[in-house]
Amino acid sequence: MFDLIPFGRKEKDLYRYFNDFEKSFFGDSGSYLSAFKTDIIDKDGAYVLQAELPGFAKEDIHIDLNGDYLTISAEHKEETEDKSGQYIRKERRFGSFARSFNVSDVDTDKITASYKDGVLELSMPKQTEEKAKVSQIEIQ
């Protein structure tokens, strides 16, 4: 059963040394896990935002719009009761994740969202540029 516990090899590698230092200083979770990966694509008059949120239920994901900022947040809730026995190792993390994006050049009334296979996809149409009004001013 002890072969289920991952052990790191002790190598004399400068990269591994600094990586281990970061883990010991910031903890094993690291600050990079508090955000999720996103891709933003400029596609046919709209921006398409794809966010990786694997393991989340659709009900655990929230999209809020506050002024010119769109915030995507998701939360894993930890079960406090251990139903299966004692853990040998527990690597799955529980907590909240959030990212904000500036959407000042997006028509926020027409944003649509879908969630499939752990990927949240938002289609955000660009604002149409208002053409300059041409008018003539009479001299009196």
- C-alpha distance across the termini of the chain, in Å: 95
What's the rounded Cα separation, in Å, for the pair 105 and 84? 50
pLDDT surpasses 60 at 49:
yes
Q: List domains and CATH numbers for the chain.
A: 32-78+93-128 (2.60.40.790)
26 versus 103: the higher-pLDDT residue is 103
Residues ≥6 apart with Cβ < 8 Å to 10: none
Q: How many residues comprise the chain? A: 140
Phi, psi of 3 (to 5 degrees): -75, -5
Task: Tell me the three state secondary structure of residue 24.
Answer: helix
pLDDT digits 0-9 by tens, 16-35: 666 666 556 555 444 444 57
Handedness of CA 131, 127, 41, 67 (dihedral sign): positive
Tell me the one-letter amino acid at 62.
H
Q: Give residue 87's pLDDT.
A: 73
pLDDT in tens, 113-126: 999 999 999 999 99
Supply the mean pLDDT for the chain.
76
Mean pLDDT across 35-51: 91
